[in-house]
Structure 1
């Protein structure tokens, strides 16, 4: 699909199970218009501008607040090598930008040419970002902010991420990713498949229902239905949310790195979202576009203050939030029932995921805990060779390459795209593992060549005095 090329949309018959989507625009008016990627982008660009402006203006205010109250990141020689204390609370500015863009989308004027993609109609939101997603943002941002200000334990942060994942599962956001994985297997095995309607997005999907018999009837029921797809999807959501939040946190190690990499990734995801909106491969088209616009605008509004030399850092509030927002966009791709779209989204967001995977392998090879800190991340290796700005710009370039591959996978499902992606991932993995192994060997060699430690000198014992001399001295005589 080429952006800007109009595609005719034929109106669908109204569906009473989808009251909002079915009343988005009169069928006759939609039939008179054509829909293009540029047209959709133009209608949603105000979400981007609002998020950009709020983040750009809120960041210096948050910096002053952080400096006034001593909420700063202090340098140390081990890992944090900036010379002066740098303000935290950048994540709060990004949060305000994202939330402002989402709330603005609730107030936007409908465009009749967009049909079901119209932001609002008669004051009622159409395909608005669900409250569950916003609630997850709020919880993760608050937990991260508490950690930036007063410190907290990893268990508390994981608890916040699990709460956000549970909220997504409650609204069925991304749950149907499991359907794309399990239903084909069930088809091949000849297992019974049930088709049900999703009241949240007004579409039907296939799922696997397993019935557990009861020893006696309860309220007229003799068995309990268990939706296998829902519970497997819930587990996948929790895995993805925790993984993405912590991957973003790990890569936030250089000025402007995470905000820039996330901006590149969300730009790629925006291209995918616009393409799906134009071709009608939804659902959740409007939600994806709003989220992409809001996150992209907030990142670009924050980046001028965060690029080297940075005057403010994201902190855990920002790093966890950006990881959550990005993975939510990717999870909504799973609601199309096409697992290759989720794979494409993960490839677009490859840089943090690759760095985290390599960190786990590297620490396991060194016999260390996977939660132990080190200075061998991808950005650390590039920084030693290219400096801070060079490392950040290089990873922007790698991120753009992966985003291009992900977009190609969306439109062009050919083996060559998968092959190129696999080769690129393997190349980065091999280089990183070889560098880690080389450093491990160097550390072992230094340990063997180090001189043995010499114990500190002890006080010399008093000289032994011969017994005869001691007796003579005690008697006060002199021997002759």
Structure 2
């Protein structure tokens, strides 16, 4: 565990150190996010944070390859280098979009090509828990792997709308998944886990970036960063799935075997939910699925009265609840997990809706006072009218 913490610290420190240089480069080459109608920020801000995150991740992987406990992961196979190569490619694609605002179909095609390359390089889902664990054919494995990577990339991209939101959600999910992959690795002869290594390095880069991205942000991650994070967290989950042998897994651990596919969806539940809602919303209006708008979850949080910071913290809370709730159910009694989940849900629901009701209560009181005043006025008119009838 200390080795993984060291790797996370290396990734975070390297990311934090290079961000000022990356910000300077972004300004020099014109990678500055102009204020658009759908944006929350009010001043142009450099966006190329993904480059710094990639550097931090690469530095952490380089140090890891020299540590005896982990070096075997780089010598016995080439998955680690394939993942790193895919990270470079996906970050370069995002940088191109940050600079030239690529057409969404071209960007999607690039994501698909990179995902297929990574899958062809050996990072793919080899088994599917469908009723019982069954081995997937190579072509099906590549297709499912590419789909999951592309979906996760775009889910994180969709949720990247507030300072610190995407990096925080991915870091929370990465911590939950790192714990899971570490526990899985402990039951194997070799404690070293590539999935845990990727997760802790990714979490470190997120923390290092957040020090520059917390509101008001000095630098945005851009598509280069959001696509990189979605790619890395999915690769980590796929590596865990690749460790499972359908012939050796007993049905008594069916749920833990199913979790490598289920947990990535749960740790990215908010981004995936936001992406699905956006696609359905835009298609129902006859628009492209990638057509921008101001109807994302974070936009709705701001609309009901939250500040940027409070909206980010509450959405982090929801992400943590779903991620760690789905993890705890594997190791604790479902009843206890359910009670804790219910209590946390009530607290987060109150925190989410509090600004709305705080704003609505005075409005309701004013409306009630107005109605009472009108009612009193009508009653007075009736009394005066009745008195005039008596005089007559």
Aligning the two structures, in what range does the TM-score lie when normalised by the shorter sequence? 0.7 to 0.9
1:444-471 CA distance string (max 9 Å, x none)? xxxxxxxxxxxxxxxxxxxxxxxxxxxx
Q: Partner of 1:376 in structure 2?
A: 295
Give the secondary-structure state (helix, strand or coil) at the position aligned to 1:300: helix
1:21-420 counterparts in 2 under 5 A? Answer: 41-76=1-36, 78-108=37-67, 110=68, 118-120=69-71, 125=75, 129-178=79-128, 180-181=129-130, 184=133, 207=135, 229-280=137-188, 286-337=193-244, 338-384=257-303, 385-411=305-331
Greater fraction of residues in strand: 1
TM-superposed deviation, 1:340: 2.7
Higher helix proportion, which one?
2
1:271 CA drift (Å): 1.0
Preserved CA contact (<8 Å) 1:143 1:156? no
Q: How far off is 1:366 after superposition?
A: 3.7
Deviation at 1:413, TM superposition (A): 8.6
Greater than 4 Å deviation, 4+ residue runs: 126-129, 282-285, 412-421
- TM-score when normalising by structure 2: 0.77
Q: Confirm or deny: 8 A CA contact 2:153 2:230 kept in the other structure.
A: yes
Alignment deviations for residues 424-449 of structure 1 (CA, whole Å, 9 cap, x no partner) = 8xx99xx9xxxxxxxxxxxxxxxxxx
Q: Distance in 1 between matches of 2:83 and 2:282?
A: 33
Structure 2 residue matching 1:255: 3-state secondary structure: coil
Long gaps (5+) in structure 1 = 1-40, 111-117, 185-205, 208-227, 432-480
Higher-Rg structure is 1
Tell me by how many angstroms 1:295 deviates. Answer: 0.3
Deviation of 1:361 (Å): 2.5
Q: Residues of 2 paired with 1:155 and 1:163: CA distance?
A: 12
Partner secondary structure for residue 134 of structure 1: helix
Whole-Å separation in 1 of the counterparts to 2:227 and 2:163: 16
CA shift at 1:127, angstroms? 6.5
Distance 1:47 1:316 in 2: 25
**1:175/1:234 contact within 8 Å kept:** yes
Aligned in 2, Cα 1:285/1:176: closer, same or farther, shift over 3 Å?
farther
- 1:120 alignment partner, SS class: helix
Q: 1:357 to 1:284 in 2, by over 3 A?
A: farther
Aligned to 2:390: none
Give, in angstroms, the shift of residue 418 of structure 1: 9.2
Q: Decide whether the 8 Å contact of 2:22 with 2:52 is kept in 1.
A: yes
- In structure 2, list runs of 5 or more residues that go unmatched: 245-256, 353-392
Q: C-alpha separation between the residues in 1 aligned to 2:232 and 2:191? A: 15
Matched residues, number: 335
Assess, with a 3 A threshold, how the Cα gap between structure 1 residues 127 and 383 changes in structure 2: closer, same or farther.
Answer: farther
Cα distance change on mapping 1:150 and 1:258 into 2, 3 Å: same
Distance verdict in 2 for CA 1:415–1:407, change over 3 Å: same
Residue aligning to 2:368: none
Question: 1:102, 1:129 within 8 Å by CA — same for their partners in 2?
Answer: no
2:23/2:46 contact within 8 Å kept: yes
Query: Given the two structures, how large is their TM-score scaled by the length of structure 1?
Result: 0.64
